[in-house]
């Protein structure tokens, strides 16, 4: 064997003996983006069951102001929550251009009224920052984070599990 062949074999052996380079992939979340008032918000897609157009609303008496009423979605009665009222954001009235984002958890389904739905986008978890000072109306407990381009990612699990949204009034007989 020549010296050149020995050198080539040694180089190949060293290349094969090296530890494999493992690429670390960044954690990503898929988010349904929607608008409320003049801001953009999002929910993680695994909480979003579907998005439907806003149609007929049935008001329900004796509920907090942030509950708009109930909507019928293919035979299911879904409570509809207005986050603008809940977070004390500017309201612009109801119209047929609104969308209903139906959030789902093991405990409940809840409709969230949105001015518009922009679609789904992928957000790196590392880019989520703490709240901005301009978002002081929204409590920190409901925020997952804010992206650099000001998309406010809300924590759907916290909203769905919030005891303040559960109405359990009984009518006295």
pLDDT, tens only, 112-136: 999 999 999 999 988 888 766 555 5
Angle subtended at Cα 64 by Cα 58 and Cα 65, rounded to the nearest 5 degrees = 75
pLDDT, tens only, 52-65: 998 888 998 888 88
User: Does any domain span residue 173?
Assistant: no
User: Does any domain span residue 58?
Assistant: yes
pLDDT score recorded for residue 148? 87
State how far the Cα of 74 lies from the Cα of 83, in Å rounded to an integer: 23
The DSSP bridge partners found for residue 117 are: 34
Name the nearest CA neighbour of 71 among 111, 21, 11.
111
Residue 52 belongs to domain with CATH number: 2.40.50.180
Buried b (16+ CB within 10 A) or exposed e, 69-100: bbbebeeeebbbbbbbebbebeeeeeeeebbb
How many domains is the chain partitioned into structurally?
1
pLDDT, tens only, 4-55: 988 988 888 888 887 776 666 778 999 999 998 888 999 999 999 999 998 8
pLDDT score recorded for residue 61? 87
> Which residue would you say has higher pLDDT here, 168 or 58?
58
pLDDT, tens only, 98-111: 899 999 998 889 99
Alpha-carbon distances, residue 23 vs 26, 44, 124, 153 (angstroms): 9, 25, 16, 27
User: Does any domain span residue 103?
Assistant: yes
User: Does any domain span residue 47?
Assistant: yes
* Domain ranges, residue 73: 26-165
| In the predicted structure, residue 170 carries a pLDDT above the cut 80 | no
């Amino acid at each position: 064997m020549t010296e050149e062949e020995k050198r080539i074999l040694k180089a190949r052996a060293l290349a094969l003996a090296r530890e494999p380079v493992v690429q670390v992939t960044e954690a990503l979340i898929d988010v349904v983006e929607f608008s409320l008032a003049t801001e953009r918000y999002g929910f993680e897609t695994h909480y979003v069951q579907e998005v439907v157009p806003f149609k007929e609303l049935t008001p329900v008496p004796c509920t907090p102001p942030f509950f708009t009423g109930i909507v019928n979605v293919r035979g299911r009665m879904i409570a509809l929550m207005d986050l603008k009222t809940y977070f004390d954001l500017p309201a612009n009235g109801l119209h047929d251009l609104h969308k209903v984002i139906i959030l789902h958890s093991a405990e409940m389904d809840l409709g969230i009224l949105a001015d518009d739905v922009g679609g789904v986008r992928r957000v790196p978890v590392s880019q989520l920052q703490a709240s901005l000072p301009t978002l002081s109306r929204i409590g920190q407990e409901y925020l997952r984070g804010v992206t650099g381009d000001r998309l406010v990612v809300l924590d759907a699990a916290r909203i769905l599990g919030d005891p303040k949204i559960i109405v359990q009034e009984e009518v006295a007989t």
